[in-house]
Copies of this chain bind each other. A is one copy, B any other.
Amino acid sequence: VTSDAQAPFTHELAMCDSDQVGARTKIWAYSHVVAGAIVGDDCKIGEHCYIEDGATLGDRVTVKNGALIWRGVHIDDDVFVGPRATFTNDARPRVEVPVPADELLHTHVGRGATLCASVTVLPGVRIGIHAFVGAASLVTRDVADHAIVFGVPARPMGWVCCCGARLGDNLACSCGRRFELSNDGLIEQPSTAELREDDEAPAR
């Protein structure tokens, strides 16, 4: 049983045609969530957004005003989709040669990633967990976990922590997190605090 307080909220000037929108998610004015779109719990969908059937959003995703999320775009939990962020799913659109729906390309955005304002994402890429795509960038290829990229086209420019702070060469953040390089980008290491807790665990 879902109480009214748990039900998703749709502004009276928005349209939500999907019955797969999670608890406490809010959809603001002039936005449209199409029937068949899947949106998780506690998401915030700003104004003037469009979320098409065949798109999926995890929990706690923030979608700022004017973002366009098409069929084939899959966004994991805790992602920030900045204002005017524009996805795509057709690599060479032509009116005279429409692409069959099952040939549209799929795009994945990993958990905790940030797409800043006015980002455009070409179809078929994978944006890594906690990656950070700078404003006005064009993403044309995969982005590694925890990578900072920006530009047109976007180029790797460094590494970023879960908390948003840029990482120095030692891959340690002032927030306490430490990272190591892996094949997919950075991977978080257990923190000193956690290691100590583990050491002490038997004593509890």
Q: A114 and B136 in contact (CB under 8 A), knowing A15-B13, A29-B32, A47-B50? A: no
A interface size (C-beta, 8 A): 47
Q: Which of B66, B96, B112, B163 contacts A112 (CB 8 A)?
A: B96
Scoring A residues 11 to 48 as 1 if CB is less than 8 Å from chain B, else 0, what string do you get? 00101000000000000011010000000000000011
> In chain B, what residue has the closest Cβ to A132?
B92
Which A69-84 residues sit within 8 Å CB-CB of chain B?
78-80, 82-84
Q: Could you tell me the distance between the alpha carbons of A57 and B60 in the complex, rounded to whole angstroms? A: 32
Residues of B close to A56: CB separation below 8 A? none
Complex Cα spacing A117 to B91, Å:
10
A172 CB–B CB distance under 8 Å: no
| Smallest beta-carbon distance A36→chain B, Å | 16
Name the contact of A60 in the complex, choosing from B29, B83, B84, B95 (C-beta under 8 A). Answer: B95
Q: Is the CB of B117 within 8 A of A88?
A: yes
The answer to whether A118 has its CB under 8 Å from any CB of chain B is: yes
Q: List CB contacts (< 8 Å) of A93-118 with chain B.
A: 93-97, 112, 114, 116-118
Q: Given A15-B13, A152-B136, verify A93-B114 contact (CB < 8 Å).
A: yes
Q: Is A147 an interface residue (CB 8 A)?
A: no
Q: Smallest Cβ distance from A94 to chain B, in angstroms? A: 4
Task: Please tell me which one of the listed residues B97, B135, B164, B165 contacts residue A163 in the complex, with CB atoms under 8 A apart.
Answer: B97
